Structure formats: C-alpha cells, structure tokens
Structure 1
Amino acid sequence: MNQKKYEQRALIVGIATNILMGGAGLWVYHITKIGALFLDAYFTLVAVLSGIVAIIISKHSKKTSKSFPHGYFMLEPFYAILKTMLTLVLLVYATISVTTKALNYFLHGIGEKMNYGPVIPYEIVMVILCIALSFFYWNQNKRTNNTSTMLTAEARSTLIDGLMSGGIGVGVLIISFITEGGNENSPFSFLLYTGDFFITIILVTFSIKEPIKVLKDSFIEFANGIVTKQEIIVPIEQVLRRHLPKDTVLKNCHIHKIGMSFRISVHLDSQSDTISKKELLQKTSCIEEELSHQYENISVNFVFP
C-alpha cells in the first residue's frame, strides 16, 4: 500500500468516528446547554467536514498539469492552515461565549444552573474514542514516514478534542461534588451557574498551543520554507554523501517539504573544473531511488556555486 493509501484510509476511519462523536456531542449539548460541550461537539463536526475535504485533496494532490508540473501538494499545507485557523476561531468563540455568560451572572445575577445530565458517561466514551483515533492517525502517518501534513493536523486536532472531553468530564465531576445538593448558600454556589466558564477557559489555555504549532509548521511548508527537523535532514544527508559525484564535497542541502512532496537542492563544491553530466544523472537517479523507499514523492537537483 502506498503512502497516499495509508493517508486516505486513516481519513475515512476518522470521518466515520467523528460523525458518531459529533452527533452524540450535539445531543448531550442540547440536553445540558453547557458551553464547553458546544465547543466539544462542533469541534468534532468540523473534523467531519474537514476530513471529507482532506480525502478529496489527498486523491488529487499527486496529479500534475502544465501550471503545476510537480502536482498540487501545496493544497495539503493549505488545508492544514485553514483547519487550524478554524480551530482557533472555535476556541476564541467558545471563550467569548462562556465569558459573556459568566459576566452576566457576576454583574447582573442572571444565569441558568448547569444541568449535568449524561455528561460524565458521555465524556468517558469520547475520551476513549479520541485517544484511539489520534493513535490511529499517528500510526498511519508513521507508515508514511511522518510525511502527511494532513494526518499530523488531524492527529493533533483529535488530541485536542480528547483533552476537551476529558477536561469537561473531570470539571463537571468536581463541580458536582463541590455543589452537591445545589445548595444556594454554599460559598461555591456560583459554580452552578459559571462552572462551564472555568472549564472552558482551562481547556482553551492548555489546548491552544497545539493548533498554533500546526499553523506554524504548515505555513512554513506552504511558503516553500526549508525543513529544519534533524530527524528528516540527517538520514537524507547520509544518502547524499554515499552517492556524491567524483571529486565533489557536500556543502549543504536544502530540503523543501510541501505536503507529501520533497524537493532537495544539493549544493556541492567541486574540486574539478568539469563534471560529467552523465554521472550527475546517474547519481541523481540512485539518490532518488534509495530515498523513494522512505518518501514516495521526491526529486533531487544538484546545485553548483
């Protein structure tokens, strides 16, 4: 199975799982009206829609045209950028929503008691599903030698979803113990009306780092930046050194990763005034052949000062 097949299979499994989780999340949200559950449920439903888009991109990114002779791989980091920005928008929206509700209670005494309903058993199931799905994404991405930008985005997004589910469950459990019996005279009675505010703020604070990291990495890819991860650079340079043309020294190499596509510019210093064109072509072919076992879409170009 090629790398794209692993990617597409993981996305299909993710869509099916997220449909189940998203539907259940909306049902529990409409029962309880807990703001944090809105974030949790819609986060999952966004994953369904983005997963469908990801499959379409995955199936077409390898295709070439006159305008894009190297394929449409730029759509993969572009997808990750858009999805991450949408994730950040959801986090901000949820924060504003629960903050408004909390201010209404603290300033005006207006609010509704939290209805726990089936929250805790629901969140236990969601945490298990999210962890399993995130692990599945990472496992399938490992089979692509961790080259799938889209699976990386999906794995991190699902991990955030699981963190939210676990946080909501733990938060509701703690609040239910603190406010047991709904005693309005308890010093913690305010949690009956503002508990989802504290839960949501804590979740956003701990989870916002992940989408920002994905956004940064995806933007570097989309802008044609060079790879700086040593776990990618070192093995590639080892292969290059084994196949250098005669009388040349590896000065440096610039690795451009765009989605699952790798373009490597090999900068050489030559100790000779001339280099055989035939030898260069042979070395390029050998390097690409060896690296193709790890990276399915790769091209190598030699550059001289």
Structure 2
Amino acid sequence: MNRKIIERQSLIVSVAVNFIIGISGLLIYIVTNLNALLLDGVFSLIAFVSSLAALFISRNSHRTTESFPNGMYFLEPLYGILKSIATLLLLIITLLETSASAYAYFIHNEGQAMVTGPVLPYTIAMVILCFGLGTYNSAQNKKINNMSTMLAAESRGNYIDGLISAGVGVAIIALSLVDINGPLGFLHYTGDFFITLVLVAISLKDPLTVLSYSFKEFARSTVQSDDIYDTVLEIFHQVLNSQADKLDILIFKQGMYIKVKIHILTPEDLQLVDTLASKKSEFADLLAQEFDHCSLEFSF
C-alpha cells in the first residue's frame, strides 16, 4: 500500500478520536472546574485541529508549484515544529494558571475545594483511548519505515495526552484518601496545582524531542533515522557488494521525501565510476520500491 495512503488513514482515525477525547475533557472540566482537566481537554482539541492540518498537508505536500518544483514536503516538519511549540505553550500557560490559584489559597486563603466525582471513570476511558491511538499511530508509522514526521508527532502527542489523563486519575485516587479537615486538607484546594506541576514536568521531554527532530528535518540536515540509513546502505551493498564501501552516502529527509547524494571516495577508480553511471537507473528503481518520493544524485 502507498505510504501516503497509510499516513492519511492514520490521520483520519486521529481526527475522529482526538475530537471525542477533546470534547469529553472540556465537558468534564465544565463540571469539575479542574485546570488539569482543562489542560487535558484543550490538549486533545489542539491534537484534533492539528490532525486536520496534518491530513491536509499529507494530501498536498507532494504537489509541485512554480515556487516549489520538488513539492512542499517542508510543510511536514513545519507541522511538527508548530505542534511542539503549541504543546509547550499550553503546558506553560496551564502551569501558570494553576500557580495563581495556589498562590491565592496560600497567601489570601481563597479557593474552592476540588470536585472530583466524575473524574476517575473519565480518566480511565481517556487513558485507554489515548494510549491506544498512540500505539496505533506508532505501529502505522513503523509500517512505512518511520518515514512520517507527522505520525511521529501525533504518536508522541497521544502518549502525552494519555499520561496527563493517567496522572489526573492517580492524583484523584490519592486525594480521595486525604481528609479535608486533616493536615493535608489543603490539597483539596491546591491539588490542581500540584497535579499540573507533575504532569508538566514529565510531559516536557516529548514536545522538546519532536521540536528538535522536526527542526533538523526542516533545515535539511542528514537523516536522523538509522532504519532509513540502513535501508539505503543495503541497496548499494546489494548492487555493488564491497565496492559500496568506497562511497560516501549522504541521505537527506524532509517529510516523506528522501534525497540520496553519493560521493565517490576514490574518484580515480574509473571502473567504479562507470559502474555507478550504468546502474543509476537500477539504484533509482530500488530506492523507489522503498520510498515513494526520492531522488538520487552522484558526485564524481
């Protein structure tokens, strides 16, 4: 199956599931007024909107224009960059908001006890949906040799969303064991802040990782995936055997587009030069079997 089709099918599933998760989170937030649930719900709605954008990009990034004759594959890592930044901003804003609530309680003794009634069944359902969707997107991306920057970003986002839901659930269970009139009773008023603080701390790594990966891809750095590099290397070893060791193979990836540049380390080896020239179409065909959108350049 075409890799783009697999990517689009996965994104369609993500759109539907993220919409359900996001609406559910906001409804529970309205009932409970827990900022941690606002974080959870808004995060899912951002995932829903970004999934729609990713679906649009997946359908159009291969299109060529006068300005972009090789296609608009840069949109795929750009998506990863923007989604990561939006995630980081959401985490920071939610932490600041809950910090203000905790400050008001500790300094001015102002605040309301947390309402937690419907939270636990909600979090259980959300954890199942989020981790299930994350596993699905990861498995779909693996089918296409982890070529999709967007599915990688989606999968990491799904896991963060599931982690947030799981954290809220665990905290609510723990809070139910605390006497509101006991020495830890303040947690009924400020627990939202502490829950959010822990969630932000454990969630920061993934968007930062995606941001770094996507930025390097957007800037046209060499490929960061060992699987892709090994696949290309195997093709050249398959055709050239030990002579492939005389080549410097550079691989550049931007979205689903792969560019392979070959530089001969021993340009005085005229036999190798002739072999490469005569087999260029064979290399191109073998690469096309592994990657839907690719180009090949030789430097003699």
Who is 1:146 aligned against?
Answer: 146
Tell me the alpha carbon deviations over residues 70-90 of structure 1, each in whole angstroms, 9 at most, x when there is no partner.
Answer: 111000000110011000000
Partner of 1:33: 33
Deviation at 1:298, TM superposition (A): 1.3
Residue 216 in structure 1 maps to residue 225 in structure 2: no
| Residue 229 of structure 1: how far off its partner (Å) | 3.4
Q: Distance in 2 between matches of 1:56 and 1:76?
A: 10
The residue aligned with 1:53 is: 53
The equivalent position to 2:183 in structure 1, one of 179, 183, 187, is 187
Give TM-score scaled by structure 2 length: 0.94
SS of corresponding position for 2:246: strand
Which residue is equivalent to 1:98?
98
**Which moves more between the two structures, 242-251 or 36-45?**
242-251
Distance 2:269 2:277 in 1: 17
TM-aligned CA deviation for residue 248 of structure 1: 7.9
Task: Give % identity.
Answer: 40
Quickly say closer, same or farther: Cα 1:271–1:66, change in 2 above 3 A: same
How do residues 6-17 of structure 1 correspond to structure 2 at under 5 angstroms?
A: 6-17=6-17
Aligned with residue 268 of structure 2, among 255, 258, 271 = 271
Distance 1:292 1:98, change over 3 A: same
Q: Which amino acid aligns with 1:15?
A: V
Q: Secondary structure at the match of 1:69?
A: coil
CA spacing shift, 1:74–1:38, aligned 2, 3 Å: same
CA shift in 2, pair 1:245/1:85, >3 Å: same
Give the AA of the match of 1:57.
Answer: I
Query: Helix, strand or coil for the counterpart of 1:243?
Result: helix
Determine whether 1:23 maps to 2:23.
yes
Give, in whole Å, the separation in 2 of the partners of 1:239 and 1:107. 67
Q: What's the secondary structure of 1:270's corresponding residue?
A: coil
The structure with the greater share of residues assigned to helix is 2
Judge conservation of contact 1:247–1:270 (CA < 8 Å) in 2.
no
Provide the rounded CA distance (Å) in 1 between the counterparts of 2:257 and 2:168.
39
Deviation at 1:267, TM superposition (A): 1.1
Partner of 2:178: 178
Contact 1:31–1:117, Cα closer than 8 Å, also in 2: no
> What is the CA–CA distance in structure 2 between the aligned matches of 1:32 and 1:89, rounded to whole Å?
23
Q: Cα offset for 1:128?
A: 0.3
Paired residues of 2:130 and 2:162 also in contact (CA < 8 A): yes
Q: How does 1:1-305 map to 2 (within 5 A)?
A: 1-179=1-179, 182-183=180-181, 186-244=182-240, 250-268=246-264, 269-272=266-269, 280-304=276-300
Aligned pair in 2 of structure 1 residues 258, 298: CA closer, same or farther (>3 Å)? same
Aligned residues, how many? Answer: 299
- Given that residues 257 and 294 in structure 2 are in contact (C-alpha distance below 8 angstroms), is that contact kept between their aligned partners in structure 1? yes
Unpaired runs of 5+ in structure 2?
none
Kindly provide the CA deviation profile for residues 82-117 of structure 1, in whole angstroms up to 9, marking residues without a partner as x. Answer: 011000000000110111111111111111110002
The structural deviation recorded for 1:275 is: 7.2
Change in Cα spacing, 1:177 to 1:81, as seen in structure 2 (3 Å) is same
Structure 1 unpaired stretches of 5+: none
Deviation (angstroms), 1:68: 1.5
Q: Structure 1 residue 303: deviation in Å?
A: 1.3
Q: Does structure 1 retain, via aligned residues, the 8 Å contact 2:145–2:228?
A: no
Contact 1:248 1:270 in 2 (8 A): no
Partner of 1:267, secondary structure, is: strand
Q: Structure 1 residue 297: deviation in Å?
A: 1.1
